[in-house]
Amino acid sequence: MTIEITGAGMVTSRLRNMFKQVPYATQRTLNDIAFLIRGELNKDIGDALRTKKATENAFLVKKATKANLESLVYMKHDWHYIALQHHYSGGNALQIEFEKKMISMGYMSSNSSAIPIKKISKAIYNKMSSGIATSRGSGRSKYFVVKENDRSSHTKHLPPGVYLRLKTKVRPVVLFTREATYRKRLEILKPAKYIVRKEFEKLFFQNLKKAMT
């Protein structure tokens, strides 16, 4: 009895094509997963801190390539990192450059924070840093500092901070307060691992199927 099997060549060819497309499908899947994780992390920030617009681009993606099958989800190392890192780790917030300067000049203690009365642009911080005078009556700067434990007669009634000198009054711009300790509010690895477990296999075979058609 003779058994003849046909189509083996076609199966072999199809398997070869499938294996050839595995790196491409892997690359596409890694990037799909990275963007899903990025979206979830940015959403978590908005939900937890109730500030979606300012943080919608806190995390970015470095895409995997054919030569490097590794995608990377990372936080922008700018004001996003300074403003957000303590929500992931807990503890104290990182000091911004303005706070470091106030500490180095002896205006603020190292365990204090400079809290703006309202949102301040980088340009205003730079103006304050370059134009500060140390007392209300001295210098021509629009800004002046009331030091912590200041006992000057004309500023002792003002809380420590940076003030804007107007024609008939002064307006607080930044107040110096004791540094707050934050509890951990956000996660990175937990949502990332969940997305990988839930989506990777499904996306991989979808991408492999697309690559073979």
Q: What is the pLDDT of residues 118-170, one digit of tens each?
A: 887 888 888 888 777 554 445 567 888 888 777 676 677 888 989 988 888 88
Bridge partners (DSSP) of residue 175 are 115, 161
pLDDT at residue 198 is higher than 50:
yes
How many CB atoms within 10 Å of residue 18?
14
Q: Which residue has the higher pLDDT, 175 or 134?
A: 175
As to burial, measured by CB atoms within 10 angstroms (0-12 exposed, 13-18 middle, 19+ buried), residue 24 is middle
Q: Which residue has the higher pLDDT, 14 or 41?
A: 41
The pTM of the full predicted model, rounded to 2 decimals, is 0.64
pLDDT at residue 196 is higher than 90:
yes
One-letter identity of residue 211: A
Q: In angstroms, what CA-CA distances link 29 with 57, 70, 159?
A: 22, 10, 55
